[in-house]
Amino acid sequence: MAADALILGSPIYFGNLSADAIAFLERLLFAPYTYSQDNLSKFTGHIASALICTMNVSEALMQQMDYPTLMKRYTQYMAGMLRGPSEWLAITDTLQFSDYGKYMSSIFDPEHKARMHAEKFPEDLEKAKELGAWLATRG
Ligand SMILES: Cc1cc2nc3c(=O)[nH]c(=O)nc-3n(C[C@H](O)[C@H](O)[C@H](O)COP(=O)(O)O)c2cc1C
């Protein structure tokens, strides 16, 4: 609660944040929680926050599966309890396996995955850096 900013990173597991990430948010956000009508959070500070989710689906499939709504829901909780702005960033088409040949994974095209990792992932890292810069100024 004394932090200037919070960045939570989580893989998407079965269409949700990881169990660890959810447990962390439950503990963190419930601590200042009240059931008062006029004031849901006892926390008086302001923490800008961000959620970064990695996932192996493509950008198009992410939209189709409505993951943005999921991430938005969690950032709304973060914004409400931490009383600061909250943004999310999705990192799609991750390289889940270093060697796809070792696993039963025929739904993936290893060449496409390698290309995404070489070309898209560096751009994703830039977006994460921009998000960090935004947090540093808003925080
Ligand atoms: C148990 C499990 C469930 C997963 N479910 C999804 C899923 O529902 N959607 C998706 O896009 N990726 C899914 N993935 C892929 C992970 O999101 C991907 O591996 C992760 O973003 C990369 O981080 P990691 O190296 O920590 O696994 C799943 C991975 C695991 C291990």
48-96 pLDDT, tens digit per residue, is: 999 999 999 999 999 999 999 999 999 999 999 999 999 999 999 999 9
Closest CA to ligand 1's atom 17: 55
Distance CA 53, CA 36 (A): 31
- Give the pLDDT mean for 113-131: 97
Q: Which atom of ligand 1 is least distant from the CA of 12? A: 17
Distances in Å between the Cα of 129 and the Cα atoms of 4, 132, 135 are: 17, 5, 10
Count of helix runs (H) and strand runs (E) in the chain:
5, 4
Q: Over 90: is that where the pLDDT of 39 sits?
A: no
Closest CA to ligand 1's atom 4: 13
Asked if residue 56 lies in contact with residue 7, where contact means CB atoms within 8 angstroms, the answer is no
Provide the angle, in degrees to the nearest 10, between the axes of the packed helices 67-82 and 19-30.
30
Q: Over 60: is that where the pLDDT of 139 sits?
A: no
Predicted pLDDT at 1: 87
The confidence band for 11, taking pLDDT boundaries of 50, 70 and 90, is very high
Determine whether the shortest distance from the Cβ of 78 to ligand 1 is under 6 A. no
Predicted pLDDT at 13: 98
User: By percentage, how much of the chain surpasses pLDDT 70?
Assistant: 99
Of 8, 10, 14, the one to substitute when testing ligand 1's pocket (max ligand atoms within 8 A of C-beta) is: 14
- For residue 93, how far is its CA from the centre of ligand 1 (angstroms)? 10
Distance CA 44, CA 66 (A): 33
Asked if residue 94 lies in contact with residue 71, where contact means CB atoms within 8 angstroms, the answer is no
**CATH code for the part of the protein at 5-138:** 3.40.50
| Location of structure tokens 């396996």 | 97
Distance CA 128, CA 112 (A): 22
Determine whether the shortest distance from the Cβ of 92 to ligand 1 is under 6 A. no
Determine whether the shortest distance from the Cβ of 132 to ligand 1 is under 6 A. no
Distance CA 44, CA 123 (A): 36
- For residue 1, how far is its CA from the centre of ligand 1 (angstroms)? 29
Summary mean pLDDT of the chain: 95
